């Protein structure tokens, strides 16, 4: 393996990639579209109404009804009423609601005494919830019709609440990773058909060097796409992920491990693909079941038990689990096992693919 040749081919590959129309689209524009789409649907960062869960632990009163009317009249909120006695935290998690307001049992009597307290439930560090807190207090005051009363909030932190869009960030990163499968499944048979590998061998570029350069290229482009997704998620949709230096570093390791594994799968599939038509068939056959069964769009727990078994046999599942552990739950203990699985499987598949590629050359 010659690093100079690897970098030379990497630079060439990158240059030619930017000459295609689809390349920059899938690298930059597609992740932007993807994140804006998912963020708009599942985020609450100022786009559309914010959902709030409201629970009244005391008797109904004009003050409570007035507050609810003020929430609805503001046009800012979509109010979900939580039955008294139900755990509001569980309700918020189950319904992906970011803000909860509880009127305590003594609220009505307290407001009559010109000083009342409401409990305000939100994820720590949720900027949207912090911004909306004074707005909600004002609406409560307006709703009670009291000009002299004061309403205080008792803040209640709800860890692990997050937003729906938070859940999709690891999934979207996974989506960019498995695009490597598509690229390899198309590129390998085309290179074989056009005898590009033979021509590159005349430049002393061996197959392992080509693989290294190509994988490096996918690593760089995937990280660019992922930074775009992450950046839009944080800046536009205010995603509240567990961000720490070790977490980010570990996420990069997971992304690179996943890239190694999925590029190897694409390479192996590409070796058995003869033309563009069969490439499309093979790529989609691998891609879509993984996309729908690996917990990308919904939790694996909602699948029937036999499909859950299938899900745990799919490599994308481990990639998703690893990123969710890091980014959503700040839990690093399981991640090492998932990384080791992806790296070992990736190396094994790469070795097997290289062996097959050498054999096929002489057929």
Partner 1 sequence: MSEIIKVENLTKRYGTLEAVRGISFHVNAGEVFSLLGPNGAGKTTTVEILEGVRKRTSGHVAVLGYDPEKIDETFRKRVGVLPQDFNFLQRITPLEALEFFIGSLESRMDPVELLKTVDLVDRKDVYFSKLSGGQKQKLGIAIALSNDAELIFLDEPTAGLDPISRKSIQQVMRNLRSLGKTIFLTTHYLEEAEKLADRVAIVNHGIIVDEGTPEELVQKNKTHDTLVVSLARDHATETALPKGLVMKSPGVYEMPVTSNDDLFSVLDSIAKSRIPVDNIYLKRENLEDVFMRVVGVEPDES
Q: Distance between CA 127 and CA 149 in Å, rounded?
A: 27
Answer yes or no: are the C-beta atoms of 236 and 38 closer than 8 Å: no
User: Under the criterion CB under 8 A, does residue 361 sit at the interface with partner 1?
Assistant: yes
Q: Distance between CA 183 and CA 217 in Å, rounded?
A: 11
Q: Distance between CA 200 and CA 109 in Å, rounded?
A: 83
Give the one residue of 74, 142, 153, 201 binding partner 1; rule: CB under 8 A: 201
User: Quick check: helix, strand or coil at residue 56?
Assistant: strand
The shares of helix, strand and coil residues in the chain, as percent rounded to the nearest 5, are: 65, 10, 25
Burial of 327 (0-12, 13-18, 19+ CB in 10 A): buried
The CB-of-357 to partner 1 minimum distance in angstroms stands at 13
Size of the site for partner 1 (CB under 8 A): 22
Tokens of 89: 């935290």
Interface mask toward partner 1 for 157-196; x: CB under 8 A: -------------------------------------xxx
List 56's β-bridge partners, or say none: 103
Interface mask toward partner 1 for 85-124; x: CB under 8 A: ----------------------------------------
The CB-of-183 to partner 1 minimum distance in angstroms stands at 15
Give the one residue of 147, 204, 305, 333 binding partner 1; rule: CB under 8 A: 204
Tokens of 100: 């909860």
Q: Between residues 12 and 336, which has the closer beta carbon with respect to partner 1? A: 12
List binders of partner 1 among 205-224 (CB under 8 A): 205
The CB-of-186 to partner 1 minimum distance in angstroms stands at 14
Answer yes or no: are the C-beta atoms of 266 and 180 closer than 8 Å: yes
The CB-of-3 to partner 1 minimum distance in angstroms stands at 12
Residues 353-362 as b or e (16 or more Cβ within 10 Å = b): bbeebeeeee
Q: Between residues 202 and 306, which has the closer beta carbon with respect to partner 1? A: 202
User: Under the criterion CB under 8 A, does residue 235 sit at the interface with partner 1?
Assistant: no
Q: Between residues 9 and 26, which has the closer beta carbon with respect to partner 1? A: 9
User: Under the criterion CB under 8 A, does residue 22 sit at the interface with partner 1?
Assistant: no
Q: Distance between CA 47 and CA 321 in Å, rounded?
A: 29
Q: Distance between CA 311 and CA 81 in Å, rounded?
A: 36
Give the one residue of 301, 302, 313, 362 binding partner 1; rule: CB under 8 A: 362
Give the one residue of 49, 114, 198, 274 binding partner 1; rule: CB under 8 A: 198
Q: Distance between CA 127 and CA 14 in Å, rounded?
A: 39
Give the one residue of 16, 29, 37, 351 binding partner 1; rule: CB under 8 A: 16
Give the one residue of 3, 12, 227, 336 binding partner 1; rule: CB under 8 A: 12
Tokens of 288: 């879509």
Stretch near partner 1 under the rule CB under 8 A, chosen from 12-20, 40-48, 294-302, 342-350: 12-20
User: Under the criterion CB under 8 A, does residue 21 sit at the interface with partner 1?
Assistant: no
Q: Between residues 20 and 131, which has the closer beta carbon with respect to partner 1? A: 20
User: Under the criterion CB under 8 A, does residue 199 sit at the interface with partner 1?
Assistant: yes
For residue 176, give Cα distances in angstroms to 181, 192, 231, 240, 255: 10, 25, 15, 21, 10
**Which residues contribute to the site for partner 1 (CB under 8 A)?**
2, 4-5, 8-9, 12, 15-16, 19-20, 194-196, 198-199, 201-205, 361-362
């Amino acid at each position: 393996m010659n690093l100079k040749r690897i970098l030379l081919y990497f630079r060439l590959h990158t240059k030619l990639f930017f000459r295609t129309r689809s390349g920059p689209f899938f690298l930059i524009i597609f992740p932007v579209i993807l994140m804006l789409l998912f963020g708009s649907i599942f985020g609450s960062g100022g786009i559309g109404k914010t959902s709030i869960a409201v629970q009244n632990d005391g008797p109904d009163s004009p003050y409570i009804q007035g507050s609810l009317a003020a929430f609805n009249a503001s046009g800012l909120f979509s109010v979900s009423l939580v039955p008294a006695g139900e755990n509001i935290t569980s309700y918020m998690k189950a319904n992906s609601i970011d803000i909860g307001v509880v009127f305590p049992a003594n609220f009505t009597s307290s407001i009559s005494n010109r000083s009342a307290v409401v409990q305000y439930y939100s994820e720590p560090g949720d900027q949207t919830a912090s911004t909306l807190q004074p707005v909600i207090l004002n609406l409560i005051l307006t709703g009670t019709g009291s000009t002299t009363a004061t309403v205080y909030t008792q803040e209640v932190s709800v860890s692990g609440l997050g937003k729906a869009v938070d859940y999709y960030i690891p999934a979207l990163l996974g989506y960019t990773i498995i695009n490597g499968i598509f690229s390899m499944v198309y590129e390998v048979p085309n290179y074989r058909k056009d005898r590009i590998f033979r021509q590159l061998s005349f430049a002393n570029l061996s197959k392992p060097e080509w693989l290294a350069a190509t994988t490096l290229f996918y690593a760089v482009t995937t990280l660019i796409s992922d930074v775009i997704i992450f950046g839009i998620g944080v800046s536009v949709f205010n995603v509240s992920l567990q961000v720490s230096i070790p977490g980010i570093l570990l996420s990069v390791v997971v992304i690179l491990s996943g890239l190694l594994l999925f590029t190897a799968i694409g390479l192996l599939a590409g070796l058995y693909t003869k033309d563009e038509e069969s490439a499309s068939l093979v790529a989609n056959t691998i891609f879509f079941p993984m996309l729908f069964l690996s917990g990308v769009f919904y939790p694996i727990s909602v699948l029937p038990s036999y499909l859950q078994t299938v899900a745990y046999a799919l490599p994308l599942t481990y990639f998703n689990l690893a990123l969710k552990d890091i980014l959503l739950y700040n839990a690093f203990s399981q991640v090492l096992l998932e990384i080791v699985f992806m790296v070992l499987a990736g190396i094994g598949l790469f070795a097997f693919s290289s062996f097959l590629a050498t054999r096929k050359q002489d057929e």
